[in-house]
Amino acid sequence: MDLLLHADDIHASYDQRRILKGVELSLHRGEILGLIGTNGAGKTTLMGVLSGSHKHDSGQLMLAGEKYGPDSMEEAQACGVGLIPQNFRLNSDLTVAEAIFRETFQADKSHDELRVQAIKLIQDVGITLDPDVKVGTLIRAEQTLVEVLRMVAEEAQLVIMDEVAASLPDHDVAVLHRVLRMLVGQGRAIIYITHRLDEVRSIAHRIAVMRDGKVHKMLEASRTDVDELAFLLLQHKLANNSRPTDPAPGDEAMRVVELTVEDSIRDISFSVSKGEIFGLAGTHRSGIYQLVEALVGIHPSTSGRIFIQGKPVEIRGLQDALRLKIGYLSDTADTLESASGIVEGLQRSDDTSGANLQDEITQLRGVIELVRRMRINTTNIHGAITTLSGGDRQKVQLAKWMTSDCDVLILSHPSRGIDVGAKETVYRMLQELSRTGVAIILLSSDLSELVSWCHRIGVMRNGEMVAIEANANTNEDALVHHMLGEKFTSGSGEARRVKS
């Protein structure tokens, strides 16, 4: 195959920390290279070097036989290198058509011209998107698909995708994989970063395992398995967690009765017990996000009732939810203030009020223990949030809510961008929380995660709750059947993701 990219002994630093410590990497045209590693292994820094947002200290990059060392992302784009970063942000006022063609040579065309080309591109790729809607009205998964289309429109020869499937449900992952295969069929090359080990095996030709700033091992995807990849990442075997097949033992924590939000969701009824982990599954247009946002008052219900501890409540905004001890971790990227420090990010907002020296020492010890348990890769807990990798930022946000004093905790894609080892820790922490009587509502596009973690799983379709499945009576295929309203079977989650 034709060699497109070669990285030789790449070293790079960030915030006076040496992150990359001699990376060796090659990539051929028509190849998908999977890149995996625990949070803080150096993946995002390496992608920054390749995409022009970060300068390397030493080593040599070659692109298409020419020496390569972009000083900016614009220069990298001009050289044919495109990036979808993990925590990308889109201008909410752009239409889908404008967002697809932004910063390309076609960006100055009229919206009508862009719309015609966007429609053709959307149809060619097989994605359902309206080219005229504002991207600010789209959920994260749909914005991800817009970014993938941008890579197609840019005609990038090297496409870097950092955790683009983190919030996509399985059937949308299959659509994404079809697009990736289309791109490499055109002779492009892709570096694909993901923490879904079964997914990277199904889509990549080779898999590079990064550890401690280096490519520790390169494997043929067809000759490895999830257990080997996990062992290479963690240097120990994954724990065999048992599914919570018994019902949650606690009394009712929250009850929702015939909840309706305008024309997006209709007559939703369900309850969650104290100590229960209740999963929510559905496509991104099923009404699942509108339901969650109604429960925390972002978009209040237009009819129906919500009961907390058996008492009717009004939730007209996030402050109402917090007052009722309902916590909410959204899947919006970087909800923490970028200027804040790691310590502040891990402490409850009222932790420092009136604290004496002994209290502060106790709180800092608690922060250090959280950093250790969550495997947050940092050498300075007083450092800024911006010094952390995307996955480690997600851990900080998740840990803050999991250590809050909430009776009901709603988590949207809590493991987004988190490595497989930290997922084990998150699962144990969720179990510990549930044992204290906290009711947890877990929204995730990863159906295997829902089946592994939840007592019951509610499935949304077309604005309605079409099924509530007890864990003991369901599996991933049954959940997909409810989500799509049609049979969608496979032997495993891995096989399902391979389909396109």
Query: pLDDT grade, residue 348 (50/70/90)?
Result: low
pLDDT at 78 over 60: yes
Return the beta strands (E) in 56-176 as ranges: 58-63, 66-67, 81-84, 158-162
Query: pLDDT grade, residue 451 (50/70/90)?
Result: very high
Beta bridge partners of 470: 456
Cβ–Cβ < 8 Å for 374, 346? no
Query: pLDDT grade, residue 496 (50/70/90)?
Result: very low
pLDDT on residue 355: 60
Distance CA 318, CA 323 (A): 9
Query: pLDDT grade, residue 499 (50/70/90)?
Result: very low
Q: Residue range 429-439: average pLDDT?
A: 87
Give the pLDDT confidence of 453-482 residue by residue, as tens digits: 999 999 999 999 999 999 988 988 899 889
Cβ–Cβ < 8 Å for 29, 219? no
Cβ–Cβ < 8 Å for 70, 81? yes
Q: Given the structure tokens 């969550």, which residue do they identify? A: 374
pLDDT at 489 over 80: no
pLDDT at 64 over 70: yes
**Residue 16 CB neighbours (<10 A):** 8
Q: Residue range 305-315: average pLDDT?
A: 95
Percent of the chain with pLDDT over 70: 93
pLDDT at 495 over 60: no
Distance CA 191, CA 193 (A): 7
Cβ–Cβ < 8 Å for 70, 47? no
Helices 140-154, 111-125: axis angle to 10 degrees equals 100
pLDDT on residue 333: 47
pLDDT on residue 332: 65
Give the pLDDT confidence of 319-330 residue by residue, as tens digits: 999 999 999 988
